[in-house]
Structure 1
Amino acid sequence: MRAIFFEEDDARAVAARLLADGFEASVARERLAGEDDDEGHPWAVLSDAPDFMVELLVDEYDGWLDAADDASQPPSPLPPLDLPAAPKRIKRPSGD
């Protein structure tokens, strides 16, 4: 889950809260496309906390959730199919 904040203090407060609650959390500078002002870049908090918990903190600290990061990860592979070893016989053999 990734939460975005415009203020560094808010991002660090959210990360500290998640760490105190026993989840992993890190803060990084988020580079937006087309933004050339280094001071204008928002801050991202990356965490493994449950979605609802991060949503509550985002509401409290006036940020937003970025779910696009989750969609870019490949889905977990499915187990292999159990296929037959030979073709299925529809008609009886001619010897009957």
Structure 2
Amino acid sequence: MRAIFFEEDDARAVVARLRADGFEARAERERLAGEDDDEDHPWAVVSDAPAFMLEVLVDTHDGWLDSEDDEAEEQSAPVEPLHLPTAPKRIKRPDLD
């Protein structure tokens, strides 16, 4: 999971907290589409911590969660084709079949 923060201090504080709790965590610059100025890029904290812990830290430090795993699963999961009827369904006069 990734947590996104606009301030470097917030990202570093979250990394320090997660490492103190025994989880792996690192902060890196997150380049968003359309952002030209390198100073305006937000910070991403990538960690193996449970989602509920990241949610609490995101709420505390004004960030948001970005789940890489959910996006990958949605893109790679095969979708079964829909079962569509071959003829219209008669509602009012079923005796015409």
Which category of TM-score, normalised to the shorter sequence, fits these structures? 0.7 to 0.9
Aligned partner of 1:94 in structure 2 is none
Percent identity (aligned): 74
Q: Distance in 2 between the 1:17 and 1:10 partners? A: 11
- Secondary structure in structure 2 of the residue aligned to 1:11: helix
Q: Distance in 1 between the 2:71 and 2:52 partners? A: 20
- The runs of 4+ residues in structure 1 deviating greater than 6 Å are none
Aligned partner of 2:28 in structure 1 is 28
Matched, 1:51 2:22: no
Q: Distance in 2 between the 1:33 and 1:20 partners? A: 33
Q: Distance in 1 between the 2:69 and 2:11 partners? A: 19
Q: In the TM superposition, what is the alpha-carbon distance from 1:70 to its structure 2 partner?
A: 1.3
Larger of the two Rg values belongs to structure: 1
Residues paired across the two proteins, number: 74
Q: Structure 2 length normalisation: TM-score? A: 0.72
Contiguous gaps of at least 5 residues in structure 2: 75-97
Contiguous gaps of at least 5 residues in structure 1: 76-96
CA RMSD of aligned residues (A): 1.3
Q: Structure 1 length normalisation: TM-score? A: 0.73
Q: Distance in 1 between the 2:48 and 2:72 partners? A: 14
Q: Distance in 2 between the 1:31 and 1:60 partners? A: 23
- 1:15-65 CA deviation, whole Å, 9 max, x = no partner? 000000000000000000110010110000000000000000000001000
- Secondary structure in structure 2 of the residue aligned to 1:15: helix
